Amino acid sequence: MRGPDAISTERARALRRRSTRAELALWRHLRDRQLAGFKFVRQEPVGPYFADFACRERYLVVEVDGGQHAKSGADAKRDATMRDLGYKIIRVWNSDILGNIEGVLQMLSAELEYAPHPANGEREPH
């Protein structure tokens, strides 16, 4: 029987407590199905990693990045692992969230409309 993983749960809670200003700003717009009616969760375990935000229904991961992520080899490996698990990864810069939240939300809405379908991994309109 599968139950909660206490280690993953505590790690996710710790990550949520240390959210950046940009993550909190985006979360205000993603929580409670505010974006196109889709449910998002924060610090979701995906394989060995934790996604900043994930829409399980559409297999979409949103990563919020600062300048330290530019051309990161670790991020490329992480993205590849998540893609292998069927997720589409969208990376959004902190500065875009803080300076143009409406543009970020429009882009995410468009991605949700054509996110991969979990059954076959093909992109289908919502």
| DSSP letters spanning 2-20 | ----HHHHHHHHHHHHT--
* Per-residue confidence (pLDDT) for residue 117, from 0 to 100: 58
* Per-residue confidence (pLDDT) for residue 71, from 0 to 100: 66
The domains found in the chain, sorted by start residue, are 6-100 (3.40.960.10)
Mean pLDDT of 2-19: 74
Angle at 79 between CA 116 and CA 7, to 5 degrees: 100
* Per-residue confidence (pLDDT) for residue 75, from 0 to 100: 87
Q: What percent of the chain has pLDDT over 90?
A: 64
Per-position DSSP letters for 32-82, written without gaps between them: GGTTTT---EEEEEETTEEEEEEETTTTEEEEEE-GGGTT-HHHHHHHHHH
Reported as a pLDDT band with limits 50, 70 and 90, residue 121 is low
pTM, two decimals, is 0.81
Instruction: Mean pLDDT check: name the lowest of 50-54, 70-74, 107-111.
Output: 70-74
- Per residue in 25-68, pLDDT tens? 999 999 999 999 999 999 999 999 999 999 999 999 999 998 66
Residue 107 and residue 28: Cα distance in Å, rounded? 16
Q: Please, what is the average pLDDT of the chain?
A: 86
